[in-house]
Chain A
Amino acid sequence: MSLFNPLPVTRRPTKQEIQHLYHLFLKTSKAFSNYNFREYFLRKAKHDFEQRNKLTEDKDIINSYNQALKDYAVLKRQSAISQMYKFDQNVVEANPLFHHHQIKDD
């Protein structure tokens, strides 16, 4: 995989580029120290990329990809900040009996 390019694109991104960005979203979401934010951004990334895969028009794909790049920058900053301030674990997070619905695929 080539280096991640944070500059907006003007041509249609390849399937690999989209896939790569998706994996960056998953990885960055997982880095949140806060359980609820981590779960939310994972769930959201999965949903958003499912929606993106349904797009067919070049213009829509480019816009959506560029939006995702911007969202990714926010996510990256915020997950870094989240790691700087740690609080007690959520009771559900601490109890593996209740980890049925977490997104596991990477």
Chain B
Amino acid sequence: MQATTPTDPRVLDVMLNFFTGLYGNPHSRTHAYGWETDIEVEKARKHIADVINADPKEIIFTSGATESNNMCIKGVPRFYKSTKKHIITAQTEHKCILNSARHLQDEGFEVTYLPVKPDGLVDLELLEKSIRKDTCLVSIMSVNNEIGVVQPIEEIGRICKKHKVYFHSDCAQAYGKIPLDVNKMNIDLMSISSHKIYGPKGMGAVYVRRRPRVRLDPIITGGGQERGLRSGTLAPPLIAGFGEAARLMMEEYDYDSSHISKLSNKLKNALLSIEHTTLNGSPEHHYPGCVNISFAYIEGESLLMALKDIALSSGSACTSASLEPSYVLHALGKDDALAHSSIRFGLGRFTTEDEVDYVIDAITHRVDFLRELSPLWEMVKEGIDLDTIEWSGH
């Protein structure tokens, strides 16, 4: 799933303890209410760290991946600004990375937005060439939220280590869903989201490496909680829910993965068997829970009308307010028409096979229906290459 996931009832069960009996402030060291809550918070921190082979002390709680991304993209360059002035990211990153980077440009930093290959992957040679003496941070996401492409994180980590540049990865879509190991992959900072792993919304974390220590300027200052990187009283119910969600991601990893792969293959095979459809992004380096397909000669929004009862999206949920075609698909070199005719399908732990059958059935019928209405489709059927037509201006 990419837009969001339902809260797992097992997660809610853990959270309810905190809304009923366990109400202590985890920062209060002087009484038992505080201790109890503190123990639970630390237990959750360990569950979250275990998923990525990190030390619990390296996990900083935030309000979500957007805050974590802001914290890293702005915090690291600001801390090292006396010697370093440059950061590198990719054009297909989430808006909160791109907009944080734009913000840094206003502060006088330089940003390289790497283009991606037509399959959505970052060109490693280009990345290495783009690293300068004054580069302090490279930020590349693990799994793309719109097309599900999995970037070569281990290779990127190796390049960053070789050039002594900090490596941040937005793993909101990847955490718990693909194998991640901060040490093996040389990841220095990682953004994590709770609601993408069946945990509560309004909760997230950032992994910040301790050895060697990564320094960053905090965005929120105050009482110095969370190693001084993120002040403010913690939210024990959300943290405990997040921790339980992370624990379940590990425990259910094999079972969830095989379920999601099975549904994903079924959906992909059925939809790609409709003529003039294409899978967006690399089919080999792909997280099966996110399937993005273009249906040529169809308008994505009108296709979604047929499926309005099932949560799907053209483009990403975060930008669903506008009808602008996806910038991620543009970065892959897709034209406006194709970007407009793309739909993203999210599959997760709670998706059923009957739902997938329903979607296949509804899409297949709707595509037929919409194409029958389309004069373009008539021309395609007659063998006219639409690219050769000179449309009159209006």
In the complex, whether B42 has a CB less than 8 A from a CB of chain A is: no
Query: In the complex, which residues 225-247 of chain B have their Cβ closer than 8 Å to any Cβ of chain A?
Result: none
In the complex, whether A55 has a CB less than 8 A from a CB of chain B is: no
Interface residue tally for chain A (C-beta within 8 Å): 26
Residues on the A chain within 8 Å of B358, using CB: 91-92, 95, 98
Whether the pair A37, B354 counts as a contact (CB closer than 8 A) is no
Q: How far is the CA of A36 from the CA of B353 in the complex (A)?
A: 11
Q: Mark B308-328, 1 if CB is under 8 A from A, else 0.
A: 011000000000000000000
Q: Mark A67-84, 1 if CB is under 8 A from B, else 0.
A: 000000011011101100
Residues on the A chain within 8 Å of B13, using CB: 74, 77-78
Q: How far is the CA of A70 from the CA of B352 in the complex (A)?
A: 25
Q: How far is the CA of A71 from the CA of B17 in the complex (A)?
A: 16
Whether the pair A82, B9 counts as a contact (CB closer than 8 A) is yes
Whether the pair A40, B349 counts as a contact (CB closer than 8 A) is yes
In the complex, whether A44 has a CB less than 8 A from a CB of chain B is: yes
Specify the main secondary structure of chain A where it touches its partner: helix
Q: Which residue of A is nearest B9, CB measured?
A: A78
In the complex, whether B350 has a CB less than 8 A from a CB of chain A is: yes
Q: What's the least CB distance linking A39 to chain B, in Å? A: 5
Q: How far is the CA of A36 from the CA of B347 in the complex (A)?
A: 12
Residues on the A chain within 8 Å of B309, using CB: 90-91
In the complex, whether B255 has a CB less than 8 A from a CB of chain A is: yes
Whether the pair A92, B10 counts as a contact (CB closer than 8 A) is no
Residues on the A chain within 8 Å of B349, using CB: 40
Query: In the complex, which residues 341-394 of chain B have their Cβ closer than 8 Å to any Cβ of chain A?
Result: 349-355, 357-358, 361
Q: Which residue of B is nearest A102, CB measured?
A: B354
Residues on the B chain within 8 Å of A90, using CB: 309, 355
In the complex, whether A47 has a CB less than 8 A from a CB of chain B is: yes
Whether the pair B350, A98 counts as a contact (CB closer than 8 A) is no
In the complex, whether B6 has a CB less than 8 A from a CB of chain A is: yes
Q: Which residue of B is nearest A32, CB measured?
A: B9
How many A-B residue pairs have C-beta atoms within 8 angstroms? Tell me: 58
Specify the main secondary structure of chain B where it touches its partner: helix
Q: How far is the CA of A92 from the CA of B6 in the complex (A)?
A: 17
Whether the pair A36, B351 counts as a contact (CB closer than 8 A) is yes
Q: How far is the CA of A43 from the CA of B357 in the complex (A)?
A: 17
Q: What's the least CB distance linking A57 to chain B, in Å? A: 20
In the complex, whether A99 has a CB less than 8 A from a CB of chain B is: yes
Whether the pair A78, B353 counts as a contact (CB closer than 8 A) is no
Residues on the A chain within 8 Å of B259, using CB: 43
In the complex, whether A54 has a CB less than 8 A from a CB of chain B is: no
Q: How far is the CA of A98 from the CA of B171 in the complex (A)?
A: 35
In the complex, whether A11 has a CB less than 8 A from a CB of chain B is: no
Q: How far is the CA of A37 from the CA of B12 in the complex (A)?
A: 13
In the complex, whether A15 has a CB less than 8 A from a CB of chain B is: no
Whether the pair B352, A101 counts as a contact (CB closer than 8 A) is yes
Whether the pair A92, B350 counts as a contact (CB closer than 8 A) is no
Residues on the B chain within 8 Å of A37, using CB: 6, 9, 350
Q: How far is the CA of A39 from the CA of B353 in the complex (A)?
A: 10
In the complex, whether A100 has a CB less than 8 A from a CB of chain B is: yes
Whether the pair A99, B255 counts as a contact (CB closer than 8 A) is no
CB-defined A-B contacts under 8 Å, sample of 13? A34-B6, A37-B350, A39-B350, A77-B13, A78-B9, A78-B10, A81-B9, A90-B309, A91-B309, A91-B358, A98-B357, A98-B358, A100-B354
Interface of B toward A, CB cutoff 8 Å: 6, 9-10, 12-13, 255, 259, 309-310, 349-355, 357-358, 361
Interface of A toward B, CB cutoff 8 Å: 32, 34-37, 39-40, 43-44, 47, 74-75, 77-79, 81-82, 90-92, 95, 98-102
Known: A74-B10, A92-B354, A101-B354. 8 other contacts (CB 8 A): A36-B350, A37-B9, A43-B259, A78-B12, A95-B358, A98-B358, A100-B357, A102-B354
